[in-house]
Each structure stands twice: as structure tokens, then as C-alpha cells.
Amino acid sequence: MTVFCGIDWSEEHHDVAVIDAEGKLLARRRISDDAAGFGELLELLAQTGDGPGGVVPVAIETSRGLLTACLRATDRPVYVINPMAVARYRDRHAVSRKKSDHADAMVLANILRTDAAMHRPLPDDSDLVQAIAVLAHTQQDAVWDRTQAHNRLRSLLREYYPGFLAAFRQARGGIMRPEARVILAAAPTPAAAAELTVDQLAGLLRQAGRQRGLAAEAARLHEVFTAQYLRQPSLVEQAMGRQALALLRALDAACLNADELAVAAEQAFDQHPDAEIITSLPGLGWLTGARVLAELGDDRSRFADARALKAYAGSAPVTRASGKSVFVMHRRVKNQRLAGAGYHWAFSALTASPGARAHYQRRRQAGDGHAAALRNTFNRLLGCLHHCLQTRQHYQETIAFAIAPAPA
């Protein structure tokens, strides 16, 4: 590579700087954030370095957006540099801490000129994997929104409606269950709930989709709602009921979004050729498998070996040594989405894989806590997944967790 391009991204325009191997500025330009600006960028790159021998690599600070997507479509190396790293590189060129858009574009281009080997271009993932990543990320965000809406509603109900929380305390899902949300919409205050008859409660349960045990459940709810609880003043209780309805609408939307996006992510994941291999591992279902594939991608050259993948996921420990002190600790800088999916994956594998369960118990006996033992189990399973994807074979329990013969 003898020509390098840096782009300082902005919302309305982008500053472009092209330099040669000696650091000399070949061209600079400010382009607009539209099709005309992108065509101007391609023309500039064609004039300065694009040709039969290769294309000009580009450094930019974001991996998202139309500009990055169109640059990837030209089959050129696109390097995403963390803005914090760019700020550190900026201090190498000027200690006065001056800053401009053109100067940042020059810094990005010089990063490729001097330290390209220290950075990796965006992986060459297929369009299907990129679509799975969008759906999996959005579904995970919807789950987080659902949890936040649930916590806000539950916090409000504790202030004026303890009977409702008591009615669904033992139910799986709690107040996020469809029957709980239907009943709360019909009776947002304790006074309204106490006036519901058994037949009315049975009708609400049927409306929520419940088909079995309607009479018994309706009788139980009627008994709970008519019990004695501490109450707010009547006007305050009605005002809190209106507030609860507003929060309930947000919870209903979050639940609907999470469910619909989960179905869409699973359907897209089912179309990928790696789906069967990924779901062959214990503890990986369709939704968790979609989240894992979204973070790994299908570019098999992205990770040089299993160790690189484990470091990316944060499951491999990191060593900090200085002088006579040596500390081994878990990684804090990692792919948080992959690490979160790995926690659920390892926890589910404890009941689906005898080898994973034995491995977890050995780590606990060695002194690891629950989270550390799960992280170590995830580390082991991630190595198995890397091997299965590279060799295109399904998971085999007897090979992944080979049990040594007992001594004679």
C-alpha cells in the first residue's frame, strides 16, 4: 500500500485526506453526505491511487452509516479506528492540542501509513450476516427496553398497588405476563380490582390467551384482590392508576417489539449455512445462536486462531505484569454483546452437556466463583465453536470433553 485515505466523518459532510507512503498530502476535499459526495470521493480515489494493482485503503471512525456501507461495497479495506485512539495519535503530531476536521482526516490517513498492521479492516461478512446482526442487536435492545419498562412499572405499583404484585409474584414472568397486563389495563387501581367478579376475571384471562384452569385462577385472583392492603388516598390512587396505564403502554410495546424481533432474527438465522453447526453446540438455541453469529460473522479469516476469538469475546484472562507483580484477571475491554450471550450460553450448557457441567464444577472446586466458572466454561465452548466452524463439522460431546480413564 503506497496511498492511504483518511475520512473524518460528520453528519452533513466528510473531510477526506489522501497521502502517500512518505506522508505527503496528495489531495484533500470536503464532500457532502449524499450520493454526489460519494461519487466525488470515488473519483478522487481513482485519480490518486485506485487501479489494477489495488485500491486505496480507507480509515474512518465509525463502522455504521451509509458512507461506510458504500465503501465496503467497493471491496476496499476499510479500517475503523476508535475515536479515543485517534485522539492519542493526534498528540503525536501536535502537542498544542489543536484540532480541525482536516487534521483529523490527516491523522487517520497517517495511522494507516505507520500502523496499519496494528489494526484490522472490517470483516468481509455476507449480507445475510449483516442483516442477522441488525435484527439480533435490535432484539437485544428491545429486551433491555422491556426490562427497563418492567422495572419502572413495578416500582410504581409498589407505591400504591401491592395486591397486584402479590397476585403475580409466583408466576413466571411476573407482571410481564399477558394476563397480568390485561388485568392491569382493566383495573389500574386497587379499588377497581376489588370490584372485579370471578366471571369478569375469567373473561380477562381468556382474553389474554389463557385456556386452562380459568375458574381456579380467577378465584385465586379474586381472593388476592379483595384482601386488605395499605391504600393511598383516593385521588392520589386514581392519579397513580393513570400513570400506571402510561407505563403499561410502554411495556406492551416493548414486549411486542421483543417478541416480533426474536421471530425475525430466528428466521434470518435459520437461512444461514452456519446455523446447524452453531445450534449443534449444547446450550445454543436459535435466538442465542443468532446473537453469537451476529458478533462472529462468517468471515473465517477474521480471527487468526481460537485465542484471538476468546480475547475478542472477553472469556480469556489477561495478564498484567510489572516488575515482580503479576496479576491475572478477566478482560474488561471486550465485545459486551458477545460476552452477554456467552453467559447465557454457558449457563444453559450446564444442563445440556455433562462435560460442560463437570468442567464448571471443577472450576468451582478450584476456587472460582459462579461468574468466573461460567466464563471459563464459555471460554472452553467458544474454542469448540471456532474449531467446528473452521472444519465445518458438528459438535461432538465425546471429543469436546474427553473423559480420561480412571487410574488402575
Successive 10-residue mean pLDDT values, the chain, 408 residues? 88 92 91 93 89 86 91 91 88 77 91 90 92 96 95 96 93 92 96 94 93 93 94 95 96 96 96 95 95 94 91 89 83 90 95 94 94 94 95 93 58
Q: What is the CATH number of the domain that holds 72?
A: 3.30.420.40
In this structure, is residue 406 part of a structural domain?
no
Q: Which domain holds residue 107?
A: 3-118
Q: Does residue 15 sit within a domain?
A: yes
Residue 60 shares a structural domain with residue 12? yes
Q: Please give the Cα distance from 341 to 279 (Å, whole number).
A: 14
Note whether residue 14 is domain-resident. Answer: yes
Task: Please give the tally of structural domains in the chain.
Answer: 3
211 in helix, strand or coil? coil
Q: 227 with 295, same domain?
A: no
Cα–Cα distance for residue pair 400/262, rounded to 1 Å: 30
Whole-model pTM: value is: 0.86
Q: What cell numbers appear for 160 in the block?
A: 400504591
Residue listed under C-alpha cell 397486584: 164
- Note whether 281 and 396 are same-domain residues: yes
The residue among 234, 267, 300 that closes a domain is 267
Strands 78-80 and 58-60: parallel
Which of 243, 267, 291 is the endpoint of a domain? Answer: 267
* Domain co-membership, 242 together with 333: no
Cell numbers describing residue 168 = 403475580
| Residue at 186 is within a domain | yes
Dihedral sign from CA coordinates of 303, 307, 313, 319: negative
In a domain, 126, yes or no: no
DSSP 262-312: HHHHHHHHHTSTTHHHHHTSTT--HHHHHHHHHHH-S-TTSSSSHHHHHHH
Partners of 60 in beta bridges: 80
- Angle of CA points 154, 159, 163, to nearest 5°: 75
CB 121 within 8 A of CB 77: yes
Verify that 298 and 396 share a domain, yes or no: yes
Is residue 259 located within the same domain as residue 151?
Answer: yes
Q: Give me the pLDDT at residue 406, please.
A: 46
* CB 60, CB 38: distance < 8 Å: no
Final residue in a domain of this structure, among 96, 118, 140: 118
Query: Residue 157: CB partners within 8 Å, gap ≥ 6?
Result: 164, 165, 175, 244
Residue 405 lies in a domain: no
Do the bridges between strand 58-60 and strand 13-20 make them parallel or antiparallel, or are there none, so unpaired? Answer: unpaired
Is residue 205 a contact partner of residue 218, using CB atoms and an 8 Å limit?
yes
User: For residue 394, what pLDDT is reported?
Assistant: 95
The β-bridge partners of 32 are 13
Q: Is 407 among the domain residues?
A: no
C-alpha to C-alpha distance for 307 and 312, rounded to whole angstroms:
9
Q: Is 231 exposed, middle or buried (0-12, 13-18, 19+ CB in 10 A)?
A: middle
- For residue 125, is it within any domain? no
Same domain, 227 and 187: yes
Using the 8-state DSSP alphabet, how is residue 118 labeled?
G
Q: Are 266 and 286 in contact (CB under 8 A)?
A: yes
Query: Do 141 and 110 sit in the same domain of this protein?
Result: no
Predicted confidence at residue 11, as pLDDT, reads: 86
- Residue 337's nearest CA partner among 269, 380, 287 is 287
Are the beta carbons of 281 and 381 closer than 8 angstroms? yes
Amino acid, single-letter form, for residue 38:
F
- The total number of residues shown for the chain amounts to 408
**CA 152 to CA 138: how far, in whole Å?**
21
Residues 57 and 136 occupy one common structural domain: no
Domain co-membership, 114 together with 228: no
Q: How many CA atoms lie within 13 A of 251 on its CB side?
A: 25
DSSP summary character for residue 321: E
Cβ atoms 14, 7 nearer than 8 A: yes
b/e for 306-318, b at 16 or more Cβ within 10 A?
Answer: beebbbbbbbbbe
Are residues 36 and 150 both part of a single domain?
no
Q: Rounded distance, CA 205 to CA 182, Å? A: 8
Same domain, yes or no: 382 and 303: yes
